[in-house]
Amino acid sequence: MTQFRSPIISPEARKHLVETTASFIASGGVVAIPTDTLYGLAAHPMIDSAVARLFAIKQRPIDSALPLLIADNPDIERYASVVPEKANLLADAYWPGPLTIVLPKASTVPDSITAGRNTVGLRVPDHWAPREIVRTLGSAITGTSANVTRKPGIKTAHEVRATLGDELDYVLDGGRCNTGIASTVIELTDHSALLLREGAISVSDLASTIGDVTIVGEVSS
């Protein structure tokens, strides 16, 4: 199997890429960035016009929530109002990595992000670009995949430019994404663990970490 590697980027070039991308996001732009799974669409979650534009670009129904990418595990406390012990166990085991944890949202998280629900999906990706952008911004960013809804996920900046380039403010080219597999999504409360989507991390791996997991969404065959 052919192995794809991210291009070697000097610290100076990386800093420039991060600052440029963060500047577009801070001013209300919508950009595409690489992650450890697929290329994602990043916007500032607190700028309503940017979030609305992201929905339009992705042709995503407004009743679908958007996950947020954060930089470090402790950031979970900033965006979730309740953090069950199982969330900490999963974060310690799989962050940074391809696991989105859905938790009761903090009051500061806009309804436009959560589609009016009282929960929010959070993830620490295993990729320098989103984490350094978040640190530079001082805010989480949206982390939905950079594709039109129901179309395949995108693994390269070239593909992003070919499909969405005219509608985006900036595309950060970080090379080909390593896995090309979406994150696993699990919703946690004090009393239950609900698997909403099985992705790069299997349900058996989750169960080995936190015990019983109830499957309510898509599971790989």
What's the CATH code of the domain at 87? 3.90.870.10
pLDDT at 13: 92
- 174 burial type by CB count under 10 A (0-12 exposed, 13-18 middle, 19+ buried): buried
Q: Is residue 4 part of a domain?
A: no
Is residue 186 a contact partner of residue 78, using CB atoms and an 8 Å limit? Answer: no
The answer to the question of residue 1 being in a domain is no
Segment 4-27 mean pLDDT: 87
Q: Alpha-carbon distance 3 to 75, whole Å? A: 33
The total domain count for the chain is: 1
**Would you place residue 218 in the very low, low, confident or very high pLDDT band (cuts 50, 70, 90)?**
confident
185 assigned to some structural domain: yes
pLDDT above 90 covers a percentage of the chain that reads 89
Task: For 115-174, write each residue's pLDDT tens digit.
Answer: 999 999 999 999 999 999 999 999 999 999 999 999 999 999 999 999 998 999 999 999
Q: What are phi and psi of 198, to 5 degrees?
A: -90, 125
208 domain residue, yes or no: yes
Q: Is residue 6 part of a domain?
A: no
User: What gap in Å lies between CA 145 and CA 50, rounded to an integer?
Assistant: 16
Residue 3 falls inside a structural domain: no
Residue 41 lies in a domain: yes
Whether the CB-CB separation of 51 and 110 falls below 8 Å is answered with: yes
Domain span including residue 211: 11-218
* Banded model confidence at residue 220, pLDDT cuts 50, 70, 90: low
Query: Quick check: is 2 in a domain?
Result: no
Q: Is the pLDDT of residue 5 over 60?
A: no
